[in-house]
């Protein structure tokens, strides 16, 4: 698709993408925008000018707001209508309402470098899954051995746990090293202090739209209709704290201190061209068939390249580029987001606009495709080179972790931007 705007070659934000975000500028409050090339298109300005009006007017003005929640609540038919309208307004031969109005362009377009990106949604609830088979196998093998790597339930349901929404932060927010209990020597009592095994987790997330009423469920065939869009996720983890605390109820302080997401939400429709078949969930691949409420026809996976880069303080001082330490693909998820939603709601749990679901760490078969330092360094036994003679078993203070993602089309790229965070030293102990 060709825009009347001079988009940079190879931009991750062409007209085929148009991801949504929330931004602010000097003297103006937060509102909804769309990334196009290296610009932000102010949807509140278009709404005020009357050139962008969703047909469903129940929510009134939906873009002059500090979150996407009101827009997400309107459902996929409205999302598609708005997306088509934006592509028409931005195309070289489309409606000239924006192209031919210099005053409106001046008010509605701003360089991304001059805006501040904010959390895109008011996230009421956050659920983290464990949906990558290779990741679950790797972690299980470390702690239980290869023959007992997967727990008995893993191939039958999407394993997940509820996280803490209040500590979900937007890309660029520093993350302080957490404090907690660990037991470094198994035969001795626990000790208190900063984690020594701070880790990243390379994940993909979805922000939800309409959702369901309590007591009802969302069928797997309908689940994609509730996904507003996708974000990059780094679900930071303190491995030594988790190892001591997780029995019997799972992670707590090891995970609730911070979760970083990208500011741009890539619409579901922008990713439809990148649907691919996932791992077969039946006897032909030696796997048990899911129960009927979880059965989903192919293609149910997404071909999205995902990578993590680490920039150390020494690299920053030398002006060296961050080192890519892993690269994987979202197609490595065994359980799809539709299956996760169906399982999440089958007991009548209600999902609401703005809820965040994350995939869990995504790992592939090759060592370099492992999506966490725990796996890359194999519990710290094989330190990972980050260039310049430096290695890491886990993250150090001053390290900046950058998550990136994109899907390649024919002559265009649909990108997510970045989800990045700088590791700060631990705070003062109480």
CATH number at 41 reads 2.30.30.230
User: Which pLDDT score, from 0 to 100, does residue 57 have?
Assistant: 54
pLDDT by residue, tens only, the chain of 430 residues: 899 999 999 999 999 999 999 999 987 899 999 999 999 999 999 999 999 987 655 556 899 999 999 999 999 999 999 999 999 999 999 999 999 999 999 999 999 999 999 999 999 999 999 999 999 999 999 989 999 999 999 999 999 999 999 999 999 999 999 999 999 999 999 999 999 999 999 999 999 999 999 999 999 999 999 999 999 999 999 999 999 999 999 999 999 999 999 999 999 999 999 999 998 898 888 899 999 999 999 999 999 999 999 999 999 999 999 999 999 999 999 999 999 999 999 999 999 999 999 999 999 999 999 999 999 999 999 999 998 899 999 999 999 999 999 999 999 999 999 999 999 999 999 8
The reply to whether 275 falls in a domain is yes
Q: Looking at the structure, tell me whether residues 200 and 285 fall in a common domain.
A: yes
Q: Looking at the structure, tell me whether residues 197 and 145 fall in a common domain.
A: yes
With H, G, I as helix, E, B as strand and everything else as coil, classify residue 236.
coil
The whole-angstrom separation of Cα 367 and Cα 375 is 8
**pTM value?**
0.96
User: How many CB atoms are located within 10 Å of the residue 411 CB?
Assistant: 8
Q: Which of 69, 86, 118 is the last residue of a domain?
A: 118
User: Which pLDDT score, from 0 to 100, does residue 58 have?
Assistant: 53
- Does residue 286 come out as left (phi exceeding 0), alpha (psi in the -120 to 50 range) or beta? left
Q: Looking at the structure, tell me whether residues 179 and 99 fall in a common domain.
A: no
Give the domain extent around 404: 126-424
> What's the total number of domains in the chain?
2
Catalogue the active-site residues: 135
The whole-angstrom separation of Cα 80 and Cα 74 is 11
User: Which pLDDT score, from 0 to 100, does residue 233 have?
Assistant: 98
Query: In this structure, are residues 355 and 72 in contact, taking their beta carbons and an 8 Å threshold?
Result: no
Q: Looking at the structure, tell me whether residues 136 and 113 fall in a common domain.
A: no
The reply to whether 57 falls in a domain is yes
The whole-angstrom separation of Cα 92 and Cα 112 is 21
The reply to whether 12 falls in a domain is no
Find the CATH number of the domain harbouring 363. Answer: 3.90.850.10
What letter would DSSP give residue 361?
Answer: -
The reply to whether 10 falls in a domain is no
Q: Looking at the structure, tell me whether residues 86 and 143 fall in a common domain.
A: no
User: Which pLDDT score, from 0 to 100, does residue 53 have?
Assistant: 84
* H or E segment to which residue 308 belongs: strand 305-311
With H, G, I as helix, E, B as strand and everything else as coil, classify residue 358.
strand
User: Which pLDDT score, from 0 to 100, does residue 54 have?
Assistant: 75
Q: Which of 95, 118, 141 is the last residue of a domain?
A: 118
Q: Looking at the structure, tell me whether residues 377 and 231 fall in a common domain.
A: yes
Q: Which of 84, 99, 118 is the last residue of a domain?
A: 118
Pairing of strands 227-234, 259-261: antiparallel
Q: Looking at the structure, tell me whether residues 69 and 175 fall in a common domain.
A: no
User: Which pLDDT score, from 0 to 100, does residue 60 have?
Assistant: 65
The reply to whether 34 falls in a domain is yes
140 φ, ψ to 5°? -60, -40
Q: Looking at the structure, tell me whether residues 160 and 114 fall in a common domain.
A: no
Q: Looking at the structure, tell me whether residues 159 and 106 fall in a common domain.
A: no
Q: Looking at the structure, tell me whether residues 69 and 166 fall in a common domain.
A: no
The whole-angstrom separation of Cα 137 and Cα 247 is 19
Query: In this structure, are residues 199 and 238 in contact, taking their beta carbons and an 8 Å threshold?
Result: yes
How far are the Cα atoms of 72, 157, 166, 185, 255 from residue 69, in angstroms, in the given order?
Answer: 5, 29, 16, 47, 25
The reply to whether 14 falls in a domain is no
Q: Which residues have a Cβ under 8 Å from the Cβ of 317 and sit 6 or more positions away?
A: none
Q: Looking at the structure, tell me whether residues 373 and 239 fall in a common domain.
A: yes
Q: Looking at the structure, tell me whether residues 71 and 163 fall in a common domain.
A: no
The reply to whether 9 falls in a domain is no
């Amino acid at each position: 698709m060709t825009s009347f705007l001079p988009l940079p070659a190879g931009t991750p934000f062409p007209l085929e993408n148009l991801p949504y975000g929330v931004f602010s500028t000097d003297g103006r409050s937060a509102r909804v925008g769309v990334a196009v090339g290296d610009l932000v298109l102010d949807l509140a300005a278009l709404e005020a000018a009357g050139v962008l009006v969703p047909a469903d007017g129940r929510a009134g003005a939906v873009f002059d707001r500090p979150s996407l929640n009101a827009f997400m609540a309107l459902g996929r038919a409205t999302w598609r209508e708005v997306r088509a309208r934006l592509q028409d307004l931005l195309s070289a031969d489309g409606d000239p309402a924006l192209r031919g109005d210099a005053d409106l362009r001046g008010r509605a377009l701003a360089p991304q470098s001059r805006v501040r990106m904010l959390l895109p949604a008011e996230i009421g609830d956050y659920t983290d899954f464990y949906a990558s088979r290779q990741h679950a196998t790797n972690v299980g093998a470390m702690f239980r051995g290869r023959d007992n790597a997967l727990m008995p339930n893993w191939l039958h349901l999407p394993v997940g746990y509820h996280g803490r929404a209040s500590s979900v932060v937007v890309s660029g927010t520093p993350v302080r090293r957490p404090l907690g209990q660990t037991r470094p020597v198994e035969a001795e009592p626990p000790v208190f202090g900063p984690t020594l095994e701070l880790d990243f987790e390379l994940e993909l997330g979805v922000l939800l739209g309409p959702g369901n009423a309590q007591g009802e469920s969302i069928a797997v065939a309908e689940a994609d209709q509730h996904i507003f869009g996708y974000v990059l996720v780094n679900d930071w983890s303190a491995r030594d704290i988790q190892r001591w605390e997780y029995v019997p109820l799972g992670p707590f302080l090891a995970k609730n201190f911070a979760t970083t997401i990208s500011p741009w939400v890539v619409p579901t429709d922008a990713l439809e061209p990148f649907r691919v078949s996932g791992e077969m969930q039946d006897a032909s691949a030696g796997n048990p068939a899911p129960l009927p409420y979880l059965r989903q026809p192919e293609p149910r996976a997404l071909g999205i390249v995902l990578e993590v880069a680490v920039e150390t303080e020494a690299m920053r001082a030398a002006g060296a580029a961050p080192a890519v330490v892993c690269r994987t693909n979202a197609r490595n998820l065994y359980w799809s987001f539709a299956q996760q939603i169906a399982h999440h709601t089958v007991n009548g749990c209600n999902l609401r606009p703005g809820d965040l679901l994350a995939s869990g760490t995504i790992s592939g078969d090759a060592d370099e495709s492992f999506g966490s330092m725990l796996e890359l360094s194999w519990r710290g036994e094989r330190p990972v080179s980050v260039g310049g003679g430096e290695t890491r078993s886990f993250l150090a203070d001053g390290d900046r972790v950058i998550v990136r993602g994109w899907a390649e089309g024919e002559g265009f790229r649909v990108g997510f931007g970045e989800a990045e965070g700088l590791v700060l030293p631990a705070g003062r102990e109480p």
